[in-house]
Amino acid sequence: MFTPTLTSPRASRLSDTDRIRRIIGIDPGLAASGWGIVEYEPQRIRYIAHGCIETEAGCIHAERLFFIYTRINEILEAYRPSESAVEILYFGKNVSSAVAVAEARGVLCMALARRGLPVYEYSPNTIKQAVLGRGAADKRQIQEMIRMILGLDAVPRPDHAADALGAAVCCAHSARSLQAGGGL
C-alpha cells in the first residue's frame, strides 16, 4: 500500500511554535462537496472561507467528476492551504449512492495529493468529538459549535460546508494535541 509523505518541504523548515497552518476541510459528495478553510496557529483557529461545489444530477457522471476536480483545483490555487482534512465516508441507509460519492471523494483526494498536501482523514464521530467534546451530537449542535469556535455571525451554509469546516477544525485540534505531546 502506498503511503505518501505527510511533511511538505516548507513545513519541515518551520517549528510548530512559529508556523501558521492553513487547513482545508472537505465533506465529499457527488451532488455537493463542502469545503471550508481555517488557519491554525498555536492556541487560535481563524476562519478564512467556505463554500460548496455543486453538480447537476442530469449531467454526465464523468463531467460531474471533472467539474469537482476543476473547481477544487481553483479553490486550492486561490487559498493555498498547507494541509487537508477529509471526512471519511459513512453510509447509513443510503448505500445506493456509495460508489458515486466514493468516486467524488477519490477525485478530491487526488487533487489534494497532486498539490502535495498531506491528507488527514477523520470519521464523522471523530469530528464531532473534536468540535463538541462528544461523538454523539446532531447536526445543529455541531454547526452551532462551529459558528462559535470560528466567531461567525451565522451558522455556515450549506450543511456540507459546515461539515467541511468541522473537519478542518478537527485537524487543527489534532495538531494542538500533537504539540502538547499527545497523539491523534
Largest pairwise CA distance in the chain: 50
27 assigned to active site: yes
The b-or-e profile of 80-109 (16+ CB within 10 A means b, else e) is ebbbbbbbebeeeeeeeeeeebebbbebbb
What are the domain boundaries of the chain? 17-178
pLDDT digits (tens, 9 = 90+) for 117-149: 999 999 988 998 888 887 677 888 889 999 999
Separation between Cα atoms, residue 78 and residue 170, nearest integer Å: 22
The three cell numbers of residue 29 are 459528495
Residues in Cβ contact with 167 at an 8 Å cutoff, skipping those fewer than 6 apart: 25, 26, 27, 36, 85, 86, 87, 122, 127
160 assigned to active site: yes
Task: Inform me whether the pLDDT recorded for 92 exceeds 80.
Answer: no
- Catalytic: which of 39, 50, 83, 160? 160
8 Å CB contact between 68 and 53? yes
- Catalytic: which of 39, 50, 83, 87? 87
Of 3.40.50.300, 1.20.1250.20, 3.30.420.10, 3.40.50.10190, the CATH number of 17-178 is: 3.30.420.10
CB atoms near residue 51 (< 10 Å): 18
- Between β-strands 83-87 and 21-27, what pairing exists: parallel, antiparallel or unpaired? parallel
Separation between Cα atoms, residue 123 and residue 62, nearest integer Å: 27
- Catalytic: which of 27, 39, 83, 163? 27
Tell me the pLDDT band of 184, cut-offs 50, 70 and 90.
Answer: very low
Per-residue model confidence (pLDDT) at position 94: 66
